[in-house]
């Protein structure tokens, strides 16, 4: 069953390749959606795909790439919209 996961990640998550590594992981897991930096220093992302892969993506976001320090991850599970065809970094 496909679902949608919306997350906001806070901590040292900008300038540490968080978006790039997350995109690589999302593509590896077959997820679609987007990720972006927010002006407040957080990173926000929406993922759509199989629940088991979304849970793996959530675990990745809670850890982050090697130079990241993740303090909190807010997660919101929603209905899949099917609006995405790829996973992109938004600017």
Overall average pLDDT of the 53-64 stretch: 98
Q: 4, 19, 53, 80: which one is catalytic? A: 19
Structural domains in the chain, sorted by start: 2-89 (3.30.70.100)
Residues 52, 14: Cα–Cα separation, whole Å: 27
The pTM score is 0.96
pLDDT of residue 69: 98
Q: 37, 38, 55, 80: which one is catalytic? A: 37
Among residues 21, 19, 89, 22, the alpha carbon closest in space to that of 54 is found at: 22
pLDDT of residue 20: 98
Query: Among this protein's residues, is 37 annotated catalytic?
Result: yes
pLDDT of residue 1: 83
3-class DSSP state of 80: coil
Residue 42 in this model has a pLDDT that exceeds 90? yes
CB atoms within 10 A of CB 90: 12
């Amino acid at each position: 069953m496909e679902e949608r996961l919306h997350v906001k990640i806070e901590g040292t998550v900008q300038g540490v390749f968080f978006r790039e590594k997350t995109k690589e992981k999302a593509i590896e897991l077959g997820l679609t959606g987007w990720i972006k930096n927010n002006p407040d220093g957080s990173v926000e992302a929406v993922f759509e795909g199989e629940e088991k892969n979304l849970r793996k993506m959530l675990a990745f976001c809670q850890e982050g790439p090697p130079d990241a320090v993740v303090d909190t991850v807010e997660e919101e599970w929603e209905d899949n919209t099917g609006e995405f065809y790829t996973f992109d970094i938004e600017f």
